[in-house]
């Protein structure tokens, strides 16, 4: 958002609540200090009444749907006398729900009338009331139609005065934390309880949503792409946070899509229930403030214990005259083109991403062939997962290890791979497909373990004198098709986790060190696949269930969240064919009708995997 006067202090934005047939839309900012008759140490809430014109329409999403609130959060210090009434830009021209994401919408100004509310004392120990106050941090809530805005927090009283008030907020620079998501404790049991909960009625007899709606959120600018994490409050309201580093200030679009309502993405045949509507596309201007974020450091071993990541893709180079080569590759920068710290370390050009790189709560090293071989030499990596593993292994071989005599990686693959430039270096890759006990079949997923011969095949790799030192595990896409409901999948995930716990215990009993287990979460399926049996809502839930069960049986050592890594690129098929992000480069017509496709998202995963395999420090 832009400041209307020449003041140097910056105004971030707070919460805007939309009601059914609203007379006003309230934007409230949780301030730190304010002048006026209130107790010492007490905060204040500053409200702005936004008067929408008659063309602003809140869409009715029907039973199980919701009315949404949008907005941003926090102030860095400003004078209300210099705050112009045409400051907030927030009204869409059209009133329709758009059928497809990322349409180009224009916005008009809303009139703003400033008000001040003096609230009761706030317990500062309650973190949900301690709202970040910076242009980089935005906390948004999406409110169900049956919920009164007065029940949401923060709230603004209806009896605010009309007089202007000066709000003085210290301009001392703040060090703010990066936004973060966590896996809910007892996730599987809680998800099952929510999924089984019957519908409810409010006091007026109208259907009341209990949660379970699935929103796709995207914050995109020229040099930043991220998924703002969404929290389901369980009562028909939702909260999510935005964050942009000061170095990436500029113009952004916040896009909110309702993909499924009330857990309908978890159904056996969800395509009939897909909603897939763009609710809002909101232009936001992020401007630099005095607040700061901790510098992202290089990932350590302990960083891979985090179950859910909230990362972003940042861009550090751009070459618009970069044609696809005859081999289907995009060599937009020289391979030696360097990373910009702290966002990554090493040669950014090897990603062939035209400047894009992924970072999360920590950043990653990008490997040259020489350094990757030094890391993987004499290792045995066991892969158990779907065909995305086949693509990732091939991309690691071709792009990172510079091994080109293996054109494809089959579903069952076991090979000692030698460094063509140094025959003394070798790594063993073993990959077993888990989409079906028969490697020519599909759509069994974790149910493959019901086959006794398949279980014995897997156990055989862990019953000898030498066992793999690392296991990279994944499941989800084939599970999405096989399991009829979430209850059955939870049982299947529990059985799979107990099976691998038994295998690892067998290794220990023989006096050997069991392999470290890395779980690589399932991708966010893209484009047309967003509505199918392996849609993002189901895959995100399945990822969490598997992690929950692996933690229960103490099998899991590290996590790589490929769901978060792929999410900003899943809205179309430019970087995927729907279910694969690592298909081999080819100068051929792609699913979206263009010649060639982008393959750097899976290549980034390959580098992240090597980071996790080779990390030394705790």
Only one residue has tokens 């830009």, namely 89
Per-residue pLDDT, 202? 60
Higher pLDDT among residues 448 and 119, named by residue: 448
- Under the banding of pLDDT at 50, 70 and 90, the label for residue 368 is very high
Sequential DSSP letters for 181-211:
--PPTTHHHHHHHHHHPPPEE-TTS-EE--S
- Under the banding of pLDDT at 50, 70 and 90, the label for residue 160 is very low
Per-residue pLDDT, 288? 86
Quote the CA–CA distance of 555 and 499 in Å, as a whole number: 10
Only one residue has tokens 């450091």, namely 297
Poorest-confidence range of 84-98, 136-150, 350-364, 385-399? 84-98
Q: For the chain, percent helix, then strand, then coil, each to nearest 5?
A: 25, 25, 50
Strands 470-473 and 516-520: parallel
Per-residue pLDDT, 616? 80
Per-residue pLDDT, 585? 97
Quote the CA–CA distance of 432 and 454 in Å, as a whole number: 10
Tokens of 164: 């202007």
Quote the CA–CA distance of 59 and 77 in Å, as a whole number: 35
Question: Does 256 have pLDDT greater than 90?
Answer: yes
Per-residue pLDDT, 257? 97
Question: Does 536 have pLDDT greater than 50?
Answer: yes
Only one residue has tokens 């006398």, namely 81
In this structure, how many other beta carbons lie within 10 angstroms of the beta carbon of residue 197?
14
Higher pLDDT among residues 84 and 547, named by residue: 547
Phi-psi region of 509 (alpha: psi -120 to 50; beta: other; left: phi over 0): alpha
Higher pLDDT among residues 143 and 398, named by residue: 398
Question: Does 422 have pLDDT greater than 90?
Answer: yes
Q: CATH number of 375-614: 2.40.420.20, 3.30.70.20, 3.40.50.1110, 3.30.559.10?
A: 3.40.50.1110
Reported as a single tens digit per residue, the pLDDT across 197-241 is 876 666 677 666 678 999 999 999 999 999 999 999 888 888 988
Question: Does 20 have pLDDT greater than 70?
Answer: no
Which pTM value belongs to this model?
Answer: 0.77
Higher pLDDT among residues 290 and 10, named by residue: 290
Tokens of 406: 């293996």
Per-residue pLDDT, 175? 85
Reported as a single tens digit per residue, the pLDDT across 38-61 is 333 333 232 333 333 222 222 222
Per-residue pLDDT, 618? 62
Poorest-confidence range of 21-30, 502-511, 531-540? 21-30
Name the residue ranges covered by the structural domains of the chain.
Answer: 15-286, 375-614
Contact assessment for residue 171 and residue 77, using Cβ atoms and an 8 Å cutoff:
yes
Contact assessment for residue 351 and residue 603, using Cβ atoms and an 8 Å cutoff:
yes
Question: Does 515 have pLDDT greater than 90?
Answer: yes
Supply the mean pLDDT for the chain.
78
Question: Does 528 have pLDDT greater than 90?
Answer: yes
Per-residue pLDDT, 168? 47
Q: What sections of 160-288 are H helices per DSSP? A: 187-196
């Amino acid at each position: 958002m832009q400041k209307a006067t020449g003041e140097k202090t910056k105004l971030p934005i707070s919460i805007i609540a939309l009601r059914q047939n609203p007379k006003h839309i309230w934007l409230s900012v949780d301030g730190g200090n304010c002048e006026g008759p209130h107790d010492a140490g007490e905060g204040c809430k500053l409200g702005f009444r936004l008067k929408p014109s008659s063309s602003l329409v809140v869409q009715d999403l029907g039973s199980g749907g919701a009315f949404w609130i949008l907005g941003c959060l926090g102030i860095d210090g400003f004078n209300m006398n210099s705050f112009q009434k045409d400051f907030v830009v927030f009204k869409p021209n059209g009133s329709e729900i758009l059928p497809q994401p990322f349409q180009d919408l224009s916005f008009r100004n809303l009139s703003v009338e400033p008000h001040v509310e003096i609230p009761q004392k706030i317990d500062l120990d309650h973190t949900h009331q301690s709202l970040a106050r910076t242009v980089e941090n935005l906390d948004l809530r999406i409110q169900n139609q049956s919920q009164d805005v007065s029940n949401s927090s923060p709230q603004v009283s209806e009896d605010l005065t009309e007089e202007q008030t000066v709000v003085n907020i210290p301009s001392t620079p703040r060090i703010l934390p990066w936004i973060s998501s966590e896996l809910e404790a007892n996730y599987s049991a809680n998800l099952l309880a929510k999924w089984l909960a019957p519908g409810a009625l409010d006091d007026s007899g109208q259907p009341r949503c209990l949660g379970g709606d699935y929103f796709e959120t995207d914050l995109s600018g020229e040099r930043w792409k991220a998924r703002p994490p969404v929290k389901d409050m369980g009562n028909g309201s939702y909260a999510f946070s935005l964050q942009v580093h000061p170095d990436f200030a500029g113009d952004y679009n916040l896009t909110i899509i309702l993909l499924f309502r009330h857990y309908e993405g978890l159904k056996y045949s969800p395509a009939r229930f897909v909603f897939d509507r763009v609710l809002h596309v909101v232009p936001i201007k992020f401007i630099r403030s005095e607040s700061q974020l901790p510098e992202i450091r290089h990932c350590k071993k302990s960083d891979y214990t985090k179950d859910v990541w909230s990362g972003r893709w940042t861009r550090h180079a751009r070459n618009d005259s970069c044609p696809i080569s005859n081999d289907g590759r995009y060599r937009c920068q020289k391979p030696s083109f360097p990373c910009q710290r702290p966002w990554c370390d090493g040669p950014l050009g090897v990603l062939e991403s035209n400047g894009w790189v992924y970072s999360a709560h920590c950043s990653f090293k990008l490997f040259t062939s020489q350094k990757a071989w030094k890391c993987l030499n004499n290792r045995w990596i066991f892969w158990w997962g779907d065909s995305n593993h086949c693509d990732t292994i091939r991309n690691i071989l071709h792009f990172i290890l510079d091994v080109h005599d293996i054109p494809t990686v089959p579903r069952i693959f076991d090979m000692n791979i030698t460094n063509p430039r140094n025959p003394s270096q070798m790594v063993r890759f073993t990959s077993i497909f888990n989409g079906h006990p028969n490697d020519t079949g599909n759509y069994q997923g974790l149910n493959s373990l019901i086959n006794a011969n398949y279980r014995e095949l897997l156990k055989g790799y862990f019953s000898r004198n030498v066992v793999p030192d690392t296991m990279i595990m994944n499941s989800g896409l084939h599970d999405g098709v096989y399991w009829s409901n979430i209850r059955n999948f939870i049982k299947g995930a529990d059985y799979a986790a107990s099976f691998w716990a038994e295998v690892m215990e067998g290794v220990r009993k023989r006096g050997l060190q069991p392999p470290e287990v890395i779980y690589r979460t399932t991708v966010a399926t893209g484009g047309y696949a967003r509505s199918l049996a392996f849609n993002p809502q189901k895959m995100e839930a399945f990822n969490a269930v598997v992690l929950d069960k692996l933690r229960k049986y103490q099998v899991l050592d590290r996590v790589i969240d490929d769901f978060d890594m792929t999410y900003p690129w899943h809205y179309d098929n430019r970087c995927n064919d729907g279910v694969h992000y690592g298909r081999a480069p080819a100068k051929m017509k792609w699913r979206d009708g263009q010649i060639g496709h982008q393959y750097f998202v899976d290549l980034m995963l390959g580098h992240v995997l090597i980071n996790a395999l080779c990390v030394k420090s705790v």
